[in-house]
Copies of this chain bind each other. A is one copy, B any other.
Amino acid sequence: MASLTRVIENYINNLFSEMDEQAVSLRRKELAEIFGCVPSQINYVLRSRFTPERGYIVESQRGGHGYIRIFRLCYDIPEERINHIEEIVGDAVTDQEAKRLLTSLQERGMIDSRERILIEVALRHADELGSSEFDVSPYKRNAIQAELLKRMLRSLALA
């Protein structure tokens, strides 16, 4: 049996297919009425399914003329690529390994210099926070960095 969440997720995905657009617009209340659920159910679907990690950006506005807009960055993420990322990064990466990987990705034209800088800054921030603020073990810090790195690379859906 398909959960309501899954049904709504499919409904939204169909909107993307039908429209063949980069973005779809919704009204939370309307959608909730269509599926006979409370409005906050829609928030759950968005939070759990249309995340930046999966290549989606959600914008919304409350009040009169309110709306929810979902943007997708990529059409479909090839399973191979994700596994590939998983494989390359693994469960933990040292700063050096991360840098080497990013250099290689940049050389292959999969990320540009600005994207590389963003990733490096985020990794460094996570590491600093782990060491100075929360006293996390070096291995655990590498694991956290690996997780962050994987999420950022996945979100870009390298093609």
B64 and A117 within 8 A (CB): no
Closest B residue to A118 by CB, please name it: B118
A155 and B118 within 8 A (CB): yes
B122 and A73 within 8 A (CB): no
Tell me how many residues of A have a C-beta within 8 Å of chain B.
39
* A-B contacts, 25 listed (Cβ < 8 Å): A1-B65, A51-B124, A52-B117, A52-B120, A53-B121, A55-B117, A57-B117, A59-B99, A59-B103, A73-B113, A73-B117, A113-B159, A117-B156, A117-B159, A118-B119, A118-B152, A118-B155, A121-B151, A121-B155, A122-B122, A122-B148, A122-B152, A125-B126, A125-B147, A129-B144
- Residues of A at the B interface (CB closer than 8 Å) are 1-3, 6, 51-53, 55, 57, 59, 64-65, 71, 73, 99, 103, 113-122, 124-126, 129, 134, 144, 147-148, 151-152, 155-156, 159
